[in-house]
Amino acid sequence: MADALRMEKGKQLLKHYYAGQRMESPNGGFLILLGISPQKGGTAMGVFECSASSLRYEIVIPKATRTERKKVKDVLQAGGDPDCPRHGPDFRLVRAGKTLVCSHCGVPYARV
């Protein structure tokens, strides 16, 4: 894979990503998701390609916050199937080893 550029203003773009909206690329065009890979420490790395320039960008997806983990835990304790706290309903967390992760965030939100 070609070298990817680290996107510094990833946070704002990720808001669009979580909402399922188009992410605008700094070079015009928009960003197409190539893949998400979980990282050590609970973060994940999203790799995106710009539709206009074909440049690749890496965006760090932050690890679960205390609030997000609590939200998921509350649902688990109530016997429910938690959804991704960022992506919302329709994005159910899936079991990966001993954690529950969102396959679209690559981030673990709970231990099971």
Would you tell me which residues interact with Zn ion (CB under 5 A)? 84, 86-87, 102, 104-105
At 59, give phi and psi (nearest 5°): -125, 125
Nearest-CB residue for Zn ion = 102
Residues 85 and 15: their CA atoms lie apart, in Å, by: 12
Q: How far is the CB of 104 from Zn ion (least distance, A)?
A: 4
CB closer to Zn ion, 56 vs 86: 86
The 3-class secondary structure across 92-112, one letter per residue, is: ECEEECCEEECCCCCCEEEEC
Q: How far is the CB of 28 from Zn ion (least distance, A)?
A: 27
CB closer to Zn ion, 56 vs 87: 87
